[in-house]
Amino acid sequence: MKVIMLGAPGAGKGTQAKMIADAYGIPHISTGDIFRANIKNGTELGKKAKTYMDKGELVPDALVVDLIMSRFAEDDCRNGYVLDGFPRTIPQAEALDAALEKNGEHVDVAVDIEVPDENIISRMGGRRACTNCGATYHVKYNPPKVDGICDVCGQKLILRDDDKPETVKNRLNVYHTQTQPLIDYYKKKDILRTVDGTQDMNKVFADIKAILG
């Protein structure tokens, strides 16, 4: 099963993608997590990506497409995957379709998690992320067991640099101009399914499970 998660920054794509990955036994592939790991490790890719991410801009398509194509070649992808944060532009979506078509494959479902912009701004300020294992929390809606510490690996939780309000506003603008057109792209292919992302995260997941079967 090949699933794409769509939605604004902070809509809950990562939260739901992790739940899908656990429930369906497929890998969760987040381009944002891959870039953050590269930044942490000081790689050339990480240095390039950071200049865009800190401003809330998208990393250029060419860098992202090469990166994701090499990830698909790994063994754990043979039964599919859930993509979180990719594709994010029409050229990325076309590159994905072209790569899959070469092997007679296709995307099965694109799940759009709908959350209005006003909810997003308040959500992002409360998000806390683990720089070690990538787990995410929310101080109010999904708090860790011990304040400021990751439940999974025991490392410190941080507020992401790009979760500051002025950067979130730019990320939302970038989303509306460059990523939202993907909703029509997948609607035309008849694989778009929409869920209400303002509900409790377990209810959002129940709706997604009803779609995926």
Token pair, residue 81, equals 């995957």
For ligand AP5, the closer CB: 104 or 183: 183
**Is residue 18 within 8 Å of residue 10, measured between CB atoms?**
no
Alpha-carbon distance of 57 to 10, in angstroms, equals 15
For ligand AP5, the closer CB: 86 or 185: 86
Least distance from ligand AP5 to the Cβ atom of residue 190, Å: 23
Question: Which residues are near ligand AP5 by CB under 6 A?
Answer: 7, 9-15, 30-32, 35, 52-53, 56-59, 64, 85-86, 88, 92, 123, 126-127, 136-138, 141-142, 162, 171, 197, 199-201, 204
193 is catalytic: no
For ligand AP5, the closer CB: 12 or 27: 12
- Name the region of 84 (left: φ>0; alpha: ψ -120 to 50; beta: rest): beta
171 is catalytic: yes
Least distance from ligand AP5 to the Cβ atom of residue 208, Å: 11
Q: Given the DSSP bridges, would you call strands 2-6 and 81-84 parallel, antiparallel or unpaired?
A: parallel
Q: Which residues have C-beta within 8 Å of that of residue 174, sequence separation ≥ 6? A: 56, 57, 58
Active-site residue (options: 18, 36, 50, 88): 88
Token pair, residue 181, equals 């057109």
Residues that are catalytic = 13, 88, 127, 160, 171
